[in-house]
A and B are shown apart, each in its own frame.
Chain A
Amino acid sequence: MAEIVKGETGDWEIVIGMEVHAQITSQSKLFSGAATAFGAEPNSQVSFVDAAMPGMLPVLNQYCVEQAIRTGLGLNAQINMTSVFERKNYFYPDLPQGYQISQFQHPIVGEGEIEIDLSDGTVKPIRIERLHMEQDAGKSLHDQHPTKSFVDLNRSGTALMEIVSRPDIRGAEEAAAYLSKLRMILRYLGTCDGNMDEGSMRADVNLSMRRVGEEKLGTRCEIKNVNSIKAVQMAIAYESRRQVEVLENGGTIKQETRLWDPAKGETRSMRSKEEAHDYRYFPDPDLLPLVLQPQLVEKIEASLPELPDQKKHRFMSEFGLGAYDASVLIAERSRADFFEQAAKGRNAKLVANWLLNELLALLNKEGKSIAESPISAAHLGQLVGLISDNTISGKIAKDVFADMFASGKDASQIVEEKGLKQVTDTGAIEKTIDEVLAENADKVGEFRSGKDKLFGFFVGQVMKKSGGKLNPSAVNDILMAKLKS
């Protein structure tokens, strides 16, 4: 579903490629033994390697390499058995080495592909160009002092994966879907926590415009500092309009880096970055090429978890769920696990309904995650079991559910304590019906002389008298028989 920007002179197509920086989940840094935890005292998680003290040498973290391979496999990508670390040279106060150790000509992961799910129910493949490992820089704070910047190197040297897509993305919705799916895959794999607000996943958007029908790509701008999915969508909306305006007024787009300003809702040129764009990459003489053993890649491949799309397709075929329900259930691994646990031995479709329509809605309202749910997966399954075997009616189940959520008790206990068990005993049902008919003898007469609509009234009275505990279909059958006799 390509998004079209309507210009003064015709329709324009948005063409986007994304560069996502994902912090690798690891205890220690890519080339040093300093810790990576978020939010520590400034400069307390810095080794002499990270501070680029003279003579210090980088030593590569084995686990980070495995995480990059795992991610590559999760992106259905080619793993390159030989990759090379190079130095990307530029100056900035939060980069003490004066260069970033990155991979350039020979990344560890090559071409891959993931599927994104769009709101109209369609699925679109997005090609991945590459994934490479690199060091993160430190952090600069500019708002602490009128004339000074403060530098914290805790993040310096933390392992990143840069994941580069092909320019296959055609608008804000697809960009958001791509980021969501990528984050889901990283979280399933456990290779990145995907927290955009802590900066452990960051996106740069490369955007260009071309007239609909044109094959050739236009000149692109790289938009930085887009730190949430919402910001990505807003930046794309702004930048696509800006470029169309420039092009339609006879201007040309300059290839440049632009900064997204969330406060002003606009992108603006980062002039100082221009001249620094000559990075003079060369192989890092401190590091030999990284050569992988095929056994390592095979071992990681064998240990991969079921990935979101595989899980979605299995939920659809195994449990008979629709594509939409399945995609909501797999959006978080913990949610999918909860569902599978609850559905074990139960009516899975009914479990999915209760989970999606009742439990998730209520958790959402209370700002709780599924891990904090007062109703456990086993308890939800039990509730559905009680509905399926006619112990309670669907209507009573709603009250039991509310009680379970409030008290944390299980369904059987509540049904037992409150005497909510559905009455299926014909004798008891008949007795209640007889009472209702006796109390409403006039209405019975009206019904028999043709006022069929009164049937609902009798059902209502019977259910009311019994506190909703009578089995509804038995009530219907017996009541009809008695009225017609």
Chain B
Amino acid sequence: MSIDKEIVRKVAGLARLSLSESDLERFTPQVAGIVKWVEMLGEVNTENVAPLANVVNVDLKLRPDIISDGGYQDKILANAPESMEGFFVVPKVVE
């Protein structure tokens, strides 16, 4: 896949990054280079090879349904720039 300026602009927008025109000029070839490098993997024939989910041979660990966490509102809110009556307070986000 070829990476052009519009794709970088869109991806940056989705990631909430504000890039100027000169930023785009600078980053587009870099992103294109990264993607091209990863695409080298396409040279390997992976037909009949199942996707590898992990390189360690373990199963997904599950936990029992027990309440063992939470109950520390003060700690959850400790880093919030603004809070009130136990809520996080953010700029209004309604249409």
What is the interface of chain A, defined by CB distance below 8 A to chain B?
26-28, 32-35, 41-51, 59-65, 84, 89, 91-93, 140-142, 144-153, 259, 270-272, 275-276, 278, 280, 283, 287-291
Q: Give Cα distance in the complex from A36 to B56, angstroms.
A: 33
Q: Give Cα distance in the complex from A254 to B94, angstroms.
A: 23
A32 closest partner in B (C-beta) = B69
Stretch from B19-27, B41-49, B82-90 at the A interface: B82-90
What is the interface of chain B, defined by CB distance below 8 A to chain A?
10, 13-14, 16, 53-54, 58-71, 73, 75-77, 82, 84-95
A291 closest partner in B (C-beta) = B59
Q: How far is the CB of B76 from chain A (nearest CB, A)?
A: 5
Question: A151 and B90 in contact (CB under 8 A), knowing A28-B65, A28-B66?
Answer: yes
Of the residues A65, A144, A149, A152, contact of B93 by C-beta under 8 Å? A149
Is B93 a contact of A153 with CB atoms below 8 Å? no
Is B88 a contact of A61 with CB atoms below 8 Å? no
Q: Give Cα distance in the complex from A288 to B62, angstroms.
A: 11
Is B87 a contact of A151 with CB atoms below 8 Å? yes
Question: A33 and B63 in contact (CB under 8 A), knowing A42-B87, A278-B14?
Answer: yes
When distances are taken between beta carbons in the complex, the residues of chain B under 8 Å from A46 are 70, 73, 76
When distances are taken between beta carbons in the complex, the residues of chain A under 8 Å from B73 are 41-44, 46
Is B76 a contact of A149 with CB atoms below 8 Å? no
Q: Give Cα distance in the complex from A46 to B73, angstroms.
A: 7
When distances are taken between beta carbons in the complex, the residues of chain A under 8 Å from B62 are 59-62, 65
Is A62 a contact of B63 with CB atoms below 8 Å? yes
Q: Give Cα distance in the complex from A280 to B13, angstroms.
A: 13
Q: Give Cα distance in the complex from A281 to B61, angstroms.
A: 23
Is B95 a contact of A270 with CB atoms below 8 Å? yes
Q: Give Cα distance in the complex from A301 to B82, angstroms.
A: 49
When distances are taken between beta carbons in the complex, the residues of chain B under 8 Å from A27 are 65-67
- The residue in B10, B54, B93 that gathers the most chain A C-beta atoms within 10 A of its C-beta is B93
Is B90 a contact of A93 with CB atoms below 8 Å? yes
Is A34 a contact of B91 with CB atoms below 8 Å? no
Q: Give Cα distance in the complex from A43 to B75, angstroms.
A: 10
Q: Give Cα distance in the complex from A270 to B94, angstroms.
A: 11
Is B84 a contact of A150 with CB atoms below 8 Å? yes
